[in-house]
Structure 1
Amino acid sequence: MNEAEILERVREIFQDNFDIEPSRVKPEAHLFEELDLDSIDAVDLAIKLQEMTGRRIKPEEFKSVRTVSDVISAVESLLATQA
């Protein structure tokens, strides 16, 4: 899965779970300030990413996630550990 495909899946997750318009989910968008996620939403997002990748996200790794780009990087590293 390449970066564009991951972004597309992340946009679907945001739309389906948080009612956020896909056009707002840009790599530079800040999860908490621009997309209005809260800490519970962040946990839900982590669970959805785990379902998407089939890999467990370590909480300490997800704490540093602040932007959509960070989410994409986290998914890429999860997928890389599968290979």
Structure 2
Amino acid sequence: METAVKTKADVIANINEFLADEFEVDIDTITPEANLAQTLNLDSLDYIDLVVVTESNFGFKVKAEDFPGIKTFGDFYNYVIAKVGLQDG
């Protein structure tokens, strides 16, 4: 289900909500500085889930080669924001 987003704040809020739900973590633990893999307790199969829910929520294809540079939630936010083509605002 692709989500309509209008601003960077919309993207971040949407990411936080679907990650908290999908990976069953407290939404308050999801902060820009937090380590994505540690906070979500990601193993290799969980990365596949992360790709699927991201593609489903935002309607773009995630490339495996993009993930090595994504360490924090802030990195992930910036990746999704760039992929959905949002400018400042």
TM-score band (shorter)?
0.7 to 0.9
Contact 2:23–2:40 (Cα < 8 Å) also in 1: no
Identity %: 27
Number of equivalences: 81
The residue correspondences of 1:1-83 to structure 2 (distance < 5 A) are: 1-80=6-85
Deviations 1:19-49 (A, max 9, x none): 0111000011101233322222122111111
Q: Larger deviation: 17-26 or 27-36? A: 27-36
- Structure 2: gaps of 5 or more residues: 1-5
Higher RCO by CA contacts (8 Å cutoff, separation 6 or greater) = 2
Contact 2:30–2:39 (Cα < 8 Å) also in 1: no
Q: Which runs of 4+ in 1 moved over 6 A?
A: none
- Structure 1: gaps of 5 or more residues: none
